Chains A and B, each alone.
Chain A
Amino acid sequence: MTSRRVVVDVPLVITALLLSAYGIAMVYSAGQTDVPTSATHAWASQIRWLIFGLAGAYAVSRASVRFFEWAALPVYLMSLALLALLLVIGTGAGTAASHKSWIGIGGIRLGQPSELAKVTVVLMLARVLAARREPPKSLLDLWQPALVAFLPWLLIMMQPDLGTGLVFIGIFFSMLYWSGVPFPLLVLVASPAVSLILAFNTSLWGAWFLLLLALVLWYKPFMLEGVGLMLANVVMGVVAPVLWERMAPYQRHRLLVFLDPSIDPRRSGWHVIQSQVAIGSGGWLGKGFLMGTQKRLAFLPEQHTDFIFAVLGEELGFIGVTVALMLFLFLLLRAVRVAERANDSFSSLVAMGLASSWLVHIIVNVGMTLNLMPITGIPLPFFSYGGSFMLACWLAIGLLSRISSEGRGARVGELAI
Chain B
Amino acid sequence: MSFHPNEIARRGRFVSAALAVLFVLLLGAFFRTQIVENSRYALQSEENRLREVPLPAPRGIIYDRHNEVLAENVPGYSVSILSPSADSLRASLQRLAAIIPLSDDAIDVSVRRYRRAPYRPTVVLSDASFDVVSVLEERRIEFPGLIIQSAPKRYYPDGPAVASFMGYVGEITESELAAPQYRGYKTGQQVGKGGLEKEYEDSLRGTEGVRFVEVDARGRVVREAGARQDLLPKPGPPLQTNIDLELQKYMASLFADSLQGGAIALDPRTGGVLALYSAPSFDPNKFIGGIPQDLWKSLNDDPHHPLYNKVIQGRYPPGSTWKLATAAIALESGIATLDDRMPEPCTGGFQFGNRYFKCWNHKGHGDLTLAQAIEQSCDVYFYQLGLKVGLTRLVAGGIRFGGRDRSGIDLPDESRPLFPYADAEEYYDRKYGKRGWSQAVLLNLAIGQGENAQTVANMARFYTALATDGTESRPEIARHKPDRTRVFTLNEDQLAGLRAALAGVVASGTARSAQIQGTVLAGKTGSAQNSQDRTRDHAWFVGFAPADDPKIVVAVLIEFGGHGARAARIASQIIQSYLKVAPTQHINTEG
Residues of A near any B CB (own CB < 8 A): 34-35, 129-130, 132-135, 174, 177-180, 274, 276-284, 293-294, 297-299, 313, 317-318, 321-322, 325-326, 328-329, 332-333, 336-337, 339-340, 345, 348-349, 352, 359, 363, 366-367, 370, 372
The 6 closest A-B pairs by CB, nearest first: A280-B41, A180-B2, A281-B45, A340-B12, A297-B216, A298-B217
> Which of B16-24, B266-274, B435-443, B449-457 sits within the interface?
B16-24
Asked if B218 is at the interface of the complex by the 8 Å CB criterion, the answer is yes
- The answer to whether A281 touches B1 (Cβ under 8 A) is no
Contact of A318 among B23, B34, B220, B222 (CB under 8 A): B34
Asked if B35 is at the interface of the complex by the 8 Å CB criterion, the answer is: yes
Task: Assess whether B33 is interfacial by the CB under 8 Å rule.
Answer: yes
Q: A179-B1, A345-B1 are in contact. Are A278 and B45 (CB under 8 A)?
A: yes
Q: A277-B48, A299-B45, A336-B12 are in contact. List 12 more A-B contacts (CB 8 A).
A: A34-B223, A35-B220, A178-B15, A279-B33, A279-B34, A281-B45, A299-B48, A318-B34, A322-B30, A329-B19, A336-B15, A370-B33
Distance in Å from the Cβ of A181 to the closest Cβ of chain B? 9
Is A283's CB under 8 angstroms from B26's CB? Answer: no
- The digit string for B8-47, where 1 denotes a CB below 8 A from any CB of A, is 1101100110011011001101110111011011101110
How long is the Cα–Cα vector from A297 to B220 in the complex, in angstroms? 9
Distance of A179 Cα from B4 Cα, bound (Å): 11
A346 nearest CB across to chain B (Å):
10
* Cβ of B590 under 8 Å from chain A: no
Decide if A340 touches B1 in the complex (CB within 8 Å). Answer: no
For the complex, is B7 an interface residue (Cβ under 8 Å from A)?
yes
Q: How far is the CA of A178 from the CA of B18 in the complex (A)?
A: 13
Bound-state CA distance A370–B26 (Å) is 10
Contacts of B2 in A (CB 8 A): 134-135, 179-180
Interface residues of B in 143-168 (CB under 8 A from A): none
Asked whether, in the complex, the Cβ of A281 is within 8 Å of the Cβ of B44, the reply is yes
Answer whether A297 and B222 are a contact pair too, CB < 8 Å, given A281-B45, A336-B15, A339-B12: yes
Which residues of B line the A interface, CB within 8 A?
1-3, 7-9, 11-12, 15-16, 19-20, 22-23, 26-27, 29-31, 33-35, 37-38, 40-42, 44-46, 48-49, 214-218, 220, 222-223
What residues of chain A lie closer than 8 Å to B27, measured between beta carbons? Answer: 321-322, 325
**Contacts A279-B33, A280-B33: A135 and B1 contacting too (C-beta < 8 A)?**
yes
Q: When the two chains form their complex, are residues A337 and B222 in contact, meaning their CB atoms are under 8 A apart?
A: no
Contacts of A178 in B (CB 8 A): 11, 15
**Alpha-carbon separation in the docked complex, A299 to B46 (Å):** 12
CB distance B26 to A277 under 8 Å? no
Taking CB atoms, residues of chain B closer than 8 Å to A129 are: 1
User: Do most interface residues of chain A lie in helix, strand or loop, or is the interface mixed?
Assistant: helix
Give Cα A277 to B42, complex, Å. Answer: 7
Residue among B11, B34, B40, B49 with the most chain A CB within 10 A?
B34
Q: Once the chains are docked, how many angstroms separate the CA of A293 from the CA of B215?
A: 10
Q: Are B1 and A132 closer than 8 Å at their CB atoms?
A: yes
Other-chain residue from A282, A297, A325, A370 in contact with B215 (beta carbon distance below 8 A)? A297
Inter-chain contacts of A294 with B (CB < 8 A): 45, 48-49
Nearest residue in B to A176 (C-beta to C-beta)?
A: B1
Q: List chain A residues, Cβ under 8 A from B220.
A: 35
Q: B49 touches which one: A299, A325, A340 (CB < 8 A)? A: A299
In this complex, what residue of B is CB-closest to A352?
A: B15
B216 and A313 contact, CB distance less than 8 A = no
Q: Which of chain A's residues have a CB closer than 8 A to the CB of B37?
A: 280
Given contacts A35-B216, A280-B38, is CB(A318)–CB(B45) below 8 Å?
A: no
What is the distance, in angstroms, from A285's C-beta to the closest C-beta of chain B?
Answer: 10
B216 nearest CB neighbor, chain A only: A297
Picked from B8, B26, B40, B217, the residue with its CB within 8 Å of the CB of A363 is B26
Give the nearest-CB partner of A285 in chain B. Answer: B34
Contact B42 A281 (CB under 8 A): yes
Chain B contacts for A130, CB-based, 8 A: 1
- Measured between beta carbons, the chain B residues less than 8 angstroms from A349 are 1
- Contact check: which of B20, B42, B218, B223 meets A329 at CB < 8 Å? B20
- Judging by beta carbons under 8 Å apart, are B216 and A348 in contact? no
Complex CA distance for A162 and B23, rounded to whole angstroms? 23
Contacts of A336 in B (CB 8 A): 12, 15-16, 19
Q: How far is B45's CA from A283's CA once the two chains are assembled, in angstroms?
A: 12
A370 touches B29 (CB 8 A): yes
* Listed residue (B33, B35, B40, B44) with the most chain A CB atoms within 10 angstroms of its CB: B33
- With CB as the reference atom, state the residue of chain B lying closest to A346: B1
Chain A minimum-CB-distance residue to B47: A277
